[in-house]
Structure 1
Amino acid sequence: MSRALGLALGYLLDQTFGDPRRWHPVAGFGSAAMALERRTYAARRGPGVTHVAVLVGSTVALGVVAERTARRSVTAHTLLTAAATWAVLGGRSLTREAETIDGQLRRQDLAAARTQVRNLVGRETTGLDADGVARACIESLAENTSDAVVAPLLWGGLLGLPGLLGYRAVNTLDAMVGHRNERYSEFGWAAARLDDVANWGPARVAGALTLAAAASRPRARAGWAAIRRDAPAHPSPNGGVVEAAFAGVLGVRLGGSNTYDGRVEDRGTLGTGPAAGRADIAPATRLARRVAAGSLLAALATARAMSRTPSRKSTP
Structure 2
Amino acid sequence: MSWMRVSPEGLLLGVVLDGLLGDPRRGHPVAGFGRAANWVEGKVYGDSRGRGVLFVGVVVGAVGVVGVVVERVAEGRVLRAVSTAVVTWAVLGGTSLGREGLLMARALEAEEMEAARGRLSHLCARDPKGLGSAELARATVESVAENTSDAAVAPLLWGAVAGIPGLMVYRAVNTLDAMVGYRNSRYERFGWAAARLDDGANWVPARVTGVLTALVGGADAWRVLRRDGGNHPSPNAGRCEAAFAGALGVRLGGTNSYGGEVERRPGMGDGRAPEVRDIRRAVALSKRVAFAAAGVAVAVAWWRR
Determine if the TM-score, normalized by the shorter chain, exceeds 0.5.
yes
Which residue is 2:83 aligned to? Answer: 80
Structure-1 separation of matches of 2:158 and 2:207 = 14
CA displacement at 1:228 relative to structure 2: 2.3
Matched to 1:246, the amino acid is F
Structure-2 separation of matches of 1:30 and 1:212 = 35
Q: Contact conserved, 2:68 with 2:165, CA < 8 A, in 1?
A: yes
**Mapping of residues 72-151 of structure 1, within 5 Å:** 72-151=75-154
Counterpart check, 1:45 vs 2:21: no
Q: Contact conserved, 1:254 with 1:275, CA < 8 A, in 2?
A: yes
Which residue is 2:254 aligned to? Answer: 256
Matched to 2:115, the amino acid is A
Identical aligned residues as a percent? 52
**Mapping of residues 265-304 of structure 1, within 5 Å:** 265-304=263-302
Q: Give 1:35's match in structure 2, choosing from 5, 28, 39.
A: 39
Q: Give 1:10's match in structure 2, choosing from 2, 11, 14.
A: 14
CA displacement at 1:224 relative to structure 2: 2.0
CA displacement at 1:293 relative to structure 2: 0.1
CA displacement at 1:151 relative to structure 2: 0.2
CA displacement at 1:103 relative to structure 2: 1.0
Which residue is 2:227 aligned to? Answer: 229
Where do 5+ consecutive residues of structure 2 fail to align? none
Superposed structure 1 runs of 4+ greater than 3 Å apart: none
Q: Secondary structure at the match of 2:230?
A: helix
Matched to 2:248, the amino acid is L
Structure-2 separation of matches of 1:169 and 1:59 = 7
User: Structure 1's 159 and 2: CA in aligned 2 closer, same or farther, altered over 3 A?
Assistant: closer
**TM-score of the superposed pair, with normalisation by structure 1:** 0.93
Which has the higher mean CA deviation after the structures are superposed, 205-214 or 220-229?
A: 220-229
Matched to 1:64, the amino acid is V
Q: Secondary structure at the match of 1:252?
A: coil
Deviation track 1:81-118 (CA, whole Å, cap 9, x = no partner) reads 11100100001111001111111111111211111122
**Aligned alpha-carbon RMSD (Å):** 1.1
**Mapping of residues 186-201 of structure 1, within 5 Å:** 186-201=189-204
Where do 5+ consecutive residues of structure 1 fail to align? 215-219, 308-316
Matched to 1:256, the amino acid is G
Q: Secondary structure at the match of 2:264?
A: strand
Which residue is 1:305 aligned to? Answer: 303
CA displacement at 1:283 relative to structure 2: 1.0
CA displacement at 1:267 relative to structure 2: 2.2
Structure-1 separation of matches of 2:209 and 2:198 = 16
Across the two proteins, how many residue pairs are aligned to each other?
301
Structure-2 separation of matches of 1:147 and 1:291 = 12
Which residue is 2:208 aligned to? Answer: 205
